[in-house]
């Protein structure tokens, strides 16, 4: 899990400086749209899903007026009609890949996801075929510099809020909770006046597979192809992210 977290944080820092920012904004706007539609309206005080979506949008440095426009559009008559769909399959060397999408055209998304699998040595499977390989967890990423209280006291507060694991990597802290405690941890962080960089439910692999670096790089490149697709929100996999692999990817 630590390797996955470290690589995600490295990607986040690098991605903020290039085309990834546009993708992050698109993802955040879709999350806001779905939250308004499914979470109970455009008032963040009454809609926890929208509060979370706004927090994630701020975490990728989306301007306030862009967030406000997204909320206004999502609550209007001309709102985009998004739905959430998931896909499961295998990449080369038996690496399991779980893809979450938010789309206004399911046929387009199915064709695109299938094409990415096929062109990169993978295969699209049936829904439910990989569920047993992943565990749903709440994952909260914080910037350490925004934590004003004593760190030991803060960690005790996090444990009280349902934290099952806390990882510290450079300037970031990643908190994991059981799926059912996601809301409790969100409330605890609000109570402590801590603004998250991101907070979401993720699919964490129960076990990971280690591959030779060159084979593993092909998997990460495949994952990146999925992430570059406009309909894709999240991609999860069970590749073991080793320090050697991270070093090789950073060197590119």
**Superfamily grouping for domain 83-132+208-250:** YebC, transcriptional regulation domain (3.30.70.980)
**Superfamily grouping for domain 2-74:** Integrase, N-terminal zinc-binding domain (1.10.10.200)
Give me the percent of the chain exceeding a pLDDT of 90: 62
- Tell which wins on pLDDT, 173 or 4: 173
The pLDDT score that the predictor gives to residue 203 is 94
Burial, 138: exposed, middle or buried (Cβ in 10 Å; 0-12, 13-18, 19+)?
buried
Fold identical between 2-74 and 134-205? Answer: no
Q: Where are the domains of the chain?
A: 2-74, 83-132+208-250, 134-205
Strand order in the sheet with 172-178: 163-169, 172-178, 134-143, 198-205
Neighbours of 250 (CB within 10 A): 10
What fold, for 134-205? Alpha-Beta Plaits (3.30.70)
Q: Is the pLDDT of residue 86 over 90?
A: yes
Tokens 């699209």 sit on residue? 124
- Tell which wins on pLDDT, 95 or 197: 95
pLDDT in tens, 58-75: 888 899 999 999 999 988
Q: Whole-prediction pTM value?
A: 0.87
Query: To 5 degrees, how large is the angle CA 232–CA 235–CA 239?
Result: 155
Average pLDDT over residues 236-250: 89
């Amino acid at each position: 899990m630590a390797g996955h977290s470290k690589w995600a944080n490295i990607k986040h820092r690098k991605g903020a400086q290039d085309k990834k920012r546009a993708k992050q904004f698109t993802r955040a706007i879709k999350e806001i749209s779905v939250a308004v539609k499914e979470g109970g309206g455009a008032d963040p005080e009454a809609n926890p899903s929208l509060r979370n979506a706004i927090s994630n949008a701020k975490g990728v440095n989306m301007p306030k007026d862009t967030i406000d426009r997204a909320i206004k559009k999502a609550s209007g008559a001309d709102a985009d009609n998004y739905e959430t769909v998931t896909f499961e399959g295998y990449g080369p060397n038996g690496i399991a890949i779980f893809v979450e999408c938010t789309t206004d055209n399911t046929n387009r998304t199915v064709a695109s996801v299938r094409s990415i699998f096929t062109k990169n040595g993978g295969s699209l499977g049936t829904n439910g075929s990989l569920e047993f390989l992943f565990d749903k967890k709440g994952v909260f990423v914080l910037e350490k510099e925004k934590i004003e209280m004593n760190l030991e006291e803060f960690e005790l507060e996090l444990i009280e809020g349902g934290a099952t694991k806390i990882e510290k990597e450079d300037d970031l802290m990643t908190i994991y909770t059981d799926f059912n405690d996601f809301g409790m941890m969100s409330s605890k962080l609000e109570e402590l006046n801590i603004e998250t960089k991101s907070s979401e439910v993720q699919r964490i692999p129960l076990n990971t597979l280690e591959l030779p670096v060159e084979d593993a790089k092909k998997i990460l490149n495949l994952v990146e192809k999925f992430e570059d697709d406009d309909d894709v929100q999240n991609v999860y996999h069970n590749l073991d992210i080793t320090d050697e692999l991270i070093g090789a990817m950073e060197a590119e």
